[in-house]
A = this chain, B = another copy of it.
Amino acid sequence: MKITIRRATKDDLIQIIRILASDKLGKLREDLSSEVSENYYAAFGKIDKDSSQMLVVAENENEEIVGTMQLSFIQYLSYRGGLRAQAETVFVREDCRGKGVGSKLMMFALDEAKQRGAHLIQLTTDKQRPEAVRFYEKLGFNASHEGMKLHFNLKSEEDK
């Protein structure tokens, strides 16, 4: 499978949301109804114009979107005023898993992080995905931290 990683455009958005929504955990929190799509477009606009954010897609040889990832670059005081890269919403289309798409996305993330001068790259991955933890460990990530979340609207999330 020939994979190209590139910055996402507004035209990719529907395919990206479909990938998020078809995932076993993502389907609990995404919504493909037309009433909600405005939210996604508004979010895309904010991400796209922020130079500290980078939404990317993996495209196959048929110009189909088969993966996505958001990179953030955050300036901190710690580590002597260091910049951190952070990867989030790393998703690969279900029928394209196990074919190196995730590795290509992460290689892109590592390169971009180094180019921008980040001293580390971080991410959190759900403990319900042990295969993802192993995948990141193979790339050199260390599960040194607990990734803790507090949902403000947990009840309504669970109702869905």
Contacts and interface: CB of A to CB of B under 8 A. Distances in A.
A39 B143 CA distance: 28
Grouping DSSP codes into helix (H, G, I), strand (E, B) and loop, the A interface class, with mixed when no group exceeds half, is mixed
A44 B76 CA distance: 8
Most buried by B among A20, A72, A75: A75
A39 B118 CA distance: 14
A99 interface: no
B120 A151 contact: yes
24 contacts: A13-B77, A20-B77, A29-B78, A29-B79, A29-B80, A31-B80, A36-B80, A52-B52, A74-B86, A78-B89, A119-B151, A119-B153, A120-B151, A122-B149, A125-B148, A127-B146, A133-B148, A140-B150, A142-B149, A142-B150, A143-B146, A144-B148, A145-B148, A145-B149
A44 B77 contact: yes
Contacts of A149: 120-122, 141-142, 144-145
A53 interface: yes
Interface string A106-129: 000010011000111111111110
